[in-house]
């Protein structure tokens, strides 16, 4: 079958393209911005790409159009598809019907930690010889790709609560019908499509309604929103993590913690990942892997070799004695957790936090009042304030002279470089490319060192 994917260069749709190609389909696709690294990954797989959404792509005459949620009414190609009466489907629906129907799906849902937990779970299964397929919203460094078909029955998927397509406003996750599902946490996010936390909880309730009574739920036992969702109806056995009566972690040394199940020792994990949030992610992955047949002690050993995910506390380089870290954090809770993890790792070294409020929720200022408190572990704060619907300088005023806002990226890089001292840790947080700030800052710091 020939499928043509609209919005192919996004992480999710690009992953679908790779899986479809591996499954034997002819795959082509288009996007508004066809550029590396996704374009190079797709071209290397023999997938032909088209720049833009021209209606002339109708001449390709694919058997099926697969539509990404970046596409909306008014898109020239989509309008032509509708006018012609061609068959089209969303990415999640295509995946569910074509790939997942004969798989044992393990889904990871929640506001935070989906990508890292999915990557941990996929790696545990891989290390146990189960060769899982997966589709993850990032690139696990153990695999080097964000998606693969796999050659056996298990499939790990990051189950997003964002809507499916312009013609299907259900959350993506309701399509996947998993046997095993992790619920990491539930907070308000995606203010562009959800009115409040209650509406998000409804989507998670709908997700739970799709899970068979023969399946398994692995949930954060310390999250009140999850408990509210479960109280609305649950037909599946539940295991909890983050609580003593379920799966818990006991830190024993820097970088090491004991994994416990119902108070009984399972194993000790020593690794390079930072933060309490990653310890909780590990517990969830170990619990889910057990349902797939992996002994928890073996799972602990596997995670000792887990290399994390690109853009999740990734050390991008060191210049002039200054370490530059990259992290995807863009929600106040994630910002706070990431900074707490780095503080625990570096002790009393200075942390320079650099924030780009880029998500739709953050741009709108829905959570702006929570931002100052989320930055408490930072010694200095730099905020990129371009294109915001709120006054970043006023919002960060409680931080006093610790905070500086700049709407010009070049001036921002200059300010960070001027402030940074040998031994400092610069933590850059954004869910986008941030104008290549990481390399620009490292280059500026190297130039300063050479001139010294």
CB 136 within 8 A of CB 159: no
- What is the per-residue pLDDT for 402? 93
- What is the per-residue pLDDT for 142? 92
CA–CA separation, 173 and 177 (whole Å): 8
Q: How many CB atoms lie within 10 A of CB 311?
A: 19
CA–CA separation, 304 and 300 (whole Å): 7
360 — pLDDT class (breaks 50, 70, 90):
confident
Domain-embedded: residue 309 = no
- What is the per-residue pLDDT for 35? 67
Burial of 390 (0-12, 13-18, 19+ CB in 10 A): middle
Q: What is the CATH number of the domain that holds 131?
A: 3.40.1190.10
Are 278 and 350 contained in the same domain? no
Q: How much is the average pLDDT of 6-23?
A: 93
Q: What is the longest distance spanned by two Cα atoms in the chain?
A: 67
- Of 91, 107, 135, which residue is a domain's last? 91
Q: How much is the average pLDDT of 283-309?
A: 96
Q: What angle do CA 288, 291, 294 make, to 5 degrees?
A: 90
Share the mean pLDDT of the chain: 93
Give the β-pairing of 26-31 and 48-51.
parallel
Structurally, the chain folds into a number of domains equal to: 3
Q: What is the CATH number of the domain that holds 359?
A: 3.90.190.20
Are 86 and 136 contained in the same domain? no
Domain-embedded: residue 162 = yes
Are 110 and 69 contained in the same domain? no
- What is the per-residue pLDDT for 333? 87
Q: What sections of 102-180 are H helices per DSSP?
A: 114-127
Are 225 and 283 contained in the same domain? yes
Report which secondary-structure segment, H or E, holds 27.
strand 26-31
Report which secondary-structure segment, H or E, holds 403.
strand 403-406
Are 353 and 209 contained in the same domain? no
Give the β-pairing of 104-109 and 180-183.
parallel
Mean pLDDT comparison of 78-87, 133-142, 245-254, 436-445, highest-scoring range: 78-87
Q: How much is the average pLDDT of 384-402?
A: 91
Q: How much is the average pLDDT of 152-164?
A: 94
- DSSP assigned state of 335: H
Domain-embedded: residue 308 = no
Are 237 and 356 contained in the same domain? no
Are 78 and 130 contained in the same domain? no
Give the sheet arrangement for strand 133-135, strand by strand.
147-148, 133-135, 154-158, 104-109, 180-183, 216-220, 238-241, 247-253, 256-261, 264-270
Structure confidence by residue, pLDDT tens digits, 34-76: 766 677 778 888 899 999 999 999 999 999 999 999 999 999 9
CA–CA separation, 211 and 81 (whole Å): 34
135 — pLDDT class (breaks 50, 70, 90):
very high
- What is the per-residue pLDDT for 242? 96
Burial of 210 (0-12, 13-18, 19+ CB in 10 A): middle
Out of 12-16, 24-28, 332-336, 426-430, least confident range = 332-336
Give the β-pairing of 314-319 and 322-327.
antiparallel
CB 380 within 8 A of CB 352: yes
Domain that holds residue 408: 314-451
- What is the per-residue pLDDT for 434? 86
Structure confidence by residue, pLDDT tens digits, 394-419: 999 999 999 999 999 999 999 999 99
CA–CA separation, 148 and 63 (whole Å): 23
Are 14 and 107 contained in the same domain? no
- What is the per-residue pLDDT for 452? 66
CB 18 within 8 A of CB 41: yes
Nearest to 115 by CA among 340, 360, 337, 308: 308
């Amino acid at each position: 079958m020939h499928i043509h994917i609209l919005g192919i260069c996004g992480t999710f749709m690009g992953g679908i393209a790779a899986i479809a190609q591996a499954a034997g389909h002819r795959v082509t696709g288009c996007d508004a911005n066809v550029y590396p690294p996704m374009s190079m990954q797709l071209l290397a797989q023999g997938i032909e790409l088209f720049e833009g959404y021209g209606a002339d792509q109708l001449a390709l005459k694919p058997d099926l159009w697969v539509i990404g949620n970046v596409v909306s009414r008014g898109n020239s190609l989509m309008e032509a598809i509708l006018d012609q009466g061609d068959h089209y489907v969303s990415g999640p629906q295509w995946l569910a019907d074509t790939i997942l129907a004969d798989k044992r799906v393990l889904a990871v849902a929640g506001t935070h930690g989906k990508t890292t937990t999915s990557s941990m779970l996929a790696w545990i299964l891989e290390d146990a010889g189960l060769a899982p397929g997966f589709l993850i919203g990032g690139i696990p460094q153990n695999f080097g790709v964000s998606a693969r078909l796999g050659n056996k029955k298990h499939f790990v998927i990051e189950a997003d609560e964002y809507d499916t397509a312009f013609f299907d406003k259900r959350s993506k996750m309701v399509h996947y019908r998993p046997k095993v599902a992790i619920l990491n946490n539930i907070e308000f996010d995606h203010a562009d499509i959800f009115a409040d936390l209650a509406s998000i909880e409804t989507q998670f309730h709908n997700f739970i309604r799709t899970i068979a009574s023969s399946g398994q739920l692995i949930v954060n036992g310390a999250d009140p929103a999850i408990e509210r969702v479960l109280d609305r109806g649950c037909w599946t056995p539940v295991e909890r993590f983050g609580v003593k009566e379920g799966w818990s972690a006991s830190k024993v040394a820097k970088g090491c913690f004991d994994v416990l199940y119902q108070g009984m020792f399972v194993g000790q994990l020593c690794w390079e990942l930072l933060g309490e949030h990653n310890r909780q992610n590990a517990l969830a992955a170990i619990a889910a892997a057990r349902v797939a047949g992996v002994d928890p002690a073996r799972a602990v050993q596997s995670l000792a070799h887990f290399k994390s995910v690109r853009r999740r506390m990734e050390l991008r380089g060191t210049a002039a004695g200054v370490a530059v870290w990259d992290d995807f954090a863009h929600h106040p809770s994630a910002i706070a957790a990431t900074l707490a993890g780095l503080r625990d790792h570096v002790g009393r070294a200075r942390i320079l936090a650099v924030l780009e409020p880029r998500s739709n929720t953050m741009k709108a200022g829905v959570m702006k009042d929570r931002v100052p408190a989320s930055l408490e572990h930072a010694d200095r704060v730099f905020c990129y304030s371009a294109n915001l619907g709120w006054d970043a300088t006023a919002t960060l005023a409680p931080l006093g002279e610790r905070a500086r806002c700049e709407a010009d990226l070049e001036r921002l890089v200059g300010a960070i470089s001027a402030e940074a001292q040998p031994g400092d840790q610069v933590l850059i947080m954004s869910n986008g490319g941030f104008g290549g700030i990481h390399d620009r800052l490292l280059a500026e710091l190297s130039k300063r060192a050479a001139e010294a």
